[in-house]
Structures are given as structure tokens and as C-alpha cells.
């Protein structure tokens, strides 16, 4: 698990991403929405799982020390109980304030499902489906999980397979891991533009910009 600081987009980053989206929509028939989420879920049970792991580990150590008669006489069962409860509460608080600790307790497939669920919710929330020819695309980025999902509307999915989005996903993830999130997104938009043109989504005369070009940032 890679621990990273919360990424902050400055105005230059936002403008650069907006320009990349506008360029894609000028060159192709597609409409692209970029949504940057800080996390896809709070994983409430994972904090207690981490606390239980710490408490269980300490309990085993204490048990071994007691078995070999290495515990000081003042460490009574009451002291042990208070110690374990305190450690577990501290571990829970640590997991609350350090999300990566909590995330380390969650299985990879569960994380993937939570990110996908959030992406689908955002697809509806941002009305990516609300284009004349159903050619909207959502590029969903979840910072904590370092996961990216690309969802195309029905008009896009007729020609572009889910596997075709993989290079776009990998480009954004690479940018996040190297601390170049904004540039990674810009590079991914350029790849998305090439992919749309390759599959015949060439520019058409549009009455208006059906979906705003600005990146949505969830704080």
C-alpha cells in the first residue's frame, strides 16, 4: 500500500484538465466528465478489524510471556484487560485518522466493488447519460484507493469494449503514484481522444456543450 498525501489541484491544474476535455470534445463526438473523489467508501468495519488485529497480537504476546513466567507480578488480569481495551481503542483511532491503515484491512475485491459502485452512482448523479446520442463518458478517480474507473454510455459501448479503457486507467494511476495526478489525467484524456477517433467517434456539429468541461472535485 502506497501512502500518499492528499492531492491538491491548483487553478493551473484545473485549467489544464478543462482544456484537455474541451480539446477532446472538439475533436470527437464524445462528451467527457472527470470526477475526482477523495475516497469511495468509509469502510466502517475495517477500523475495528485493525483494532482486533492489534488487540489479538498483544494478547498472544502477553499469553506467551505468562506461559514462560516472564510477566511482572503487578500485571494482573484487570491490568491486562484495561491495557488491551486501551490499545484497541487507540488502534481504532489511528485507523480513523490514517485511512491507509483502515484500507489495508479490506480485501482487494471489496475495494474494487466499492469503487465501482461509487462510480456508477456518480454516473447517474452527474447525468453522464444526458446526451443526445448517449455518448457520455465518465472518468472516475478515487484517490485513497488509487483506483480509476471509466464508464461509457450505451452509444459509446456499442463500439468500445471495456478492455479498451485499460490504458487510460493505467495512465491515471501512474500519475497518482508519481505525484503527478493532474498531468496523469491530461495524458489519459489525450489517450481517450485517440481511442474515440480510432473507433469512429469523429467530430460532429453539436448544438451546445452537453456536459460541462470542468473536473468535479469531491472534498
Beta sheet of 136-142, edge-to-edge order: 147-152, 136-142, 31-37, 216-217
The whole-angstrom separation of Cα 23 and Cα 17 is 10
The pLDDT of residue 5? 54
Per-residue pLDDT tens digits for 22-67: 999 999 999 999 999 999 999 989 999 999 999 999 999 999 999 9
Q: Does 3 score more than 90 pLDDT?
A: no
Average of pLDDT values for 132-156?
Answer: 94
C-alpha cell at 70: 516472564
What does the pLDDT read at residue 207?
A: 60
What is the mean pLDDT of the segment spanning 145-154? 95
The H or E element spanning position 35 is strand 31-37
Cα gap 182→184, rounded to integer Å: 5
pLDDT for residue 2: 38
* Alpha-carbon span 139 to 149, nearest angstrom: 6
pLDDT higher than 50, residue 1: no
User: CATH second-level architecture of 11-41+107-217?
Assistant: Roll (3.10)
User: Among 170, 167, 215, which Cα is nearest to 193's?
Assistant: 167
pLDDT at residue 81 in the model = 94
pLDDT in tens, 82-122: 999 999 999 999 999 999 999 999 999 999 999 999 999 99
Taking only the tens place, the pLDDT of each residue in 167-207 is 999 999 999 888 899 999 999 999 999 999 999 998 766 66
Q: Give the closest residue to 196 by CA, choosing from 147, 133, 143, 148.
A: 133
Q: Give the start-to-end residue ranges of the domains of the chain.
A: 11-41+107-217, 44-103
Which grid cell sits at 158? 456499442
Task: Name the burial class of residue 20, with classes exposed (0-12), middle (13-18) and buried (19+) by CB atoms within 10 angstroms of its CB.
Answer: buried
Contact 88, 51 (CB under 8 A): yes
| Contact between 52 and 60 (Cβ < 8 Å) | no
Specify the pLDDT at position 4: 45
Helix (H) or strand (E) holding 52: helix 44-67
Confidence at residue 203, expressed as pLDDT on a 0 to 100 scale: 79
pLDDT of residue 206: 61
Gap between the Cα atoms of 190 and 183, Å rounded: 11
Mean pLDDT in residue range 127-152: 94
Amino acid at each position: 500500500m502506497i501512502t500518499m498525501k492528499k492531492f491538491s489541484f491548483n487553478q493551473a491544474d484545473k485549467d489544464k484538465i478543462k482544456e484537455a476535455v474541451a480539446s477532446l470534445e472538439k475533436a470527437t463526438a464524445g462528451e467527457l466528465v472527470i470526477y475526482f473523489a477523495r475516497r469511495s467508501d468509509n469502510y466502517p468495519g475495517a477500523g475495528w478489524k485493525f483494532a482486533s488485529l492489534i488487540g489479538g497480537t498483544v494478547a498472544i504476546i502477553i499469553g506467551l510471556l505468562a506461559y514462560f513466567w516472564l510477566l511482572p507480578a503487578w500485571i494482573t488480569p484487570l491490568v491486562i484487560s484495561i491495557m488491551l481495551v486501551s490499545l484497541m481503542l487507540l488502534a481504532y483511532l489511528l485507523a480513523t485518522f490514517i485511512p491507509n491503515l483502515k484500507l489495508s484491512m479490506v480485501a482487494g475485491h471489496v475495494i474494487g466493488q466499492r469503487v465501482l459502485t461509487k462510480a456508477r452512482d456518480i454516473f447517474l448523479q452527474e447525468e453522464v447519460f444526458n446526451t443526445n446520442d448517449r455518448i457520455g463518458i465518465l472518468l472516475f478517480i478515487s484517490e485513497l484507493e488509487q483506483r480509476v474507473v471509466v464508464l461509457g454510455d450505451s452509444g459509446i459501448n456499442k463500439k468500445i469494449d471495456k478492455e479498451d479503457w485499460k490504458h487510460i486507467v493505467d495512465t491515471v494511476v501512474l500519475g497518482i503514484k508519481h505525484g503527478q495526478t493532474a498531468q496523469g489525467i491530461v495524458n489519459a484524456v489525450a489517450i481517450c481522444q485517440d481511442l474515440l477517433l480510432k473507433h469512429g467517434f469523429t467530430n460532429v456539429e453539436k448544438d451546445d456543450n452537453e456536459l460541462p468541461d470542468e473536473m468535479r472535485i469531491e472534498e
